[in-house]
Amino acid sequence: MLGVRTDVLVRILSAILALAAAGCAASPSGSGRVAPPKAAKEAEAAHAVFQMPRPGSNVDFDSDLVIVSGAPSPVATTVEIAGRGSRGIGVARLSPDGLQVLVQVHYDAAAFEWHVVDISGSGLRKISKPTNGPASWSPDGASIAWVDLSAPGSAIVTDLASGSERNIAGASWPAWSPDGSSLACVIQERGPDVDTGPVLSAFRLSDGRSTVLFDPAKYAGGVQQSAFIDSPIWSEDGRLIAFAYEGKALAGTGIYVLDAEQPARNARSELGKPRLISKIDDVAAAIHNMVWLPDGSIVWAGKAGLMMARRESGKDRWITKKIASTPTPDDRIEGLQLNPAKDMLFWQQVSSDEQHLICLHLKDWKTSPVMRTE
pLDDT of residue 25: 38
Quote the mean pLDDT of the chain. Answer: 81
Phi-psi region for residue 337, left (φ > 0), alpha (ψ -120 to 50) or beta?
beta
Does the pLDDT at position 360 exceed 50? yes
In which band, very low, low, confident or very high, does the pLDDT at 31 lie, cut at 50, 70 and 90? Answer: very low
If pLDDT is split at 50, 70 and 90, which confidence band does 90 have? confident
Does 275 score more than 70 pLDDT? yes
Confidence band, pLDDT 50/70/90 cuts, at residue 294: very high
Question: Between 8 and 288, whose confidence is greater?
Answer: 288
Q: What is the pLDDT of residue 368?
A: 92
- 32 vs 73: which has the higher pLDDT: 73
* Distance, C-alpha 160 to centroid of its chain: 17
Q: What percent of the chain has pLDDT over 90?
A: 44
Q: What is the pLDDT of residues 126-138, one digit of tens each?
A: 999 888 788 999 9
For the four alpha carbons of 332, 335, 337 and 343, in that order, the dihedral sign comes to negative
- Least confident segment among 2-6, 41-45, 64-68: 2-6
Cis preceding linkage at 74, omega within 30: no
pLDDT interval class at 269 (50, 70, 90): low
pLDDT tens digit sequence for 139-156: 999 999 999 877 567 899
Q: Is the pLDDT of residue 165 over 60?
A: yes
Pairing of strands 112-118, 125-126: antiparallel
**Model confidence at 114, in pLDDT bands (50, 70, 90)?**
very high
Mean pLDDT confidence for 228-239: 92
Residue 253 CA: distances (Å) to CA of 203, 304, 320: 25, 18, 16
* Percent share of the chain, pLDDT over 70: 79
**Residue 201's closest CA among 189, 187, 191, 190?**
187
First to last CA, the chain: 79
Q: Which range has the worst mean pLDDT, 18-27, 90-99, 174-183, 362-371?
A: 18-27
- Taking alpha carbons only, the member of 263, 261, 264 closest to residue 250 is 264
Q: What is the pLDDT of residue 348?
A: 92
Give the residue with greater pLDDT, 53 vs 343. Answer: 343
Residue 35 has pLDDT above 70, yes or no: no
Q: Which residue has the higher pLDDT, 16 or 107?
A: 107
State residue 4's pLDDT score.
42
Residue 19 has pLDDT above 50, yes or no: no
Checking if the pLDDT of 73 tops 70, the result is yes
CA distance 144 to 127: 8
Is 172's pLDDT higher than 50?
A: yes
Give the predicted TM-score (pTM) of the model.
Answer: 0.82
Residue 107 neighbours by CB under 8 Å, 6+ apart: 87, 113, 130
Res. 217 pLDDT band, cuts 50 70 90: confident
Beta-bridged to residue 65, according to DSSP, are 51, 79
Taking only the tens place, the pLDDT of each residue in 279-289 is 887 777 787 78
Q: Please state whether 181 falls in left (phi above 0), alpha (psi between -120 and 50) or beta.
A: alpha
- By the 10 Å C-beta count (0-12 exposed, 13-18 middle, 19+ buried), 59 is classed as exposed
Least confident segment among 53-62, 251-260, 332-341: 53-62
Burial of 13 (0-12, 13-18, 19+ CB in 10 A): exposed
Q: What is the bridge-based pairing of β-strands 240-246 and 165-169?
A: unpaired
Contact status, residue 90 vs residue 128, Cβ threshold 8 Å: no
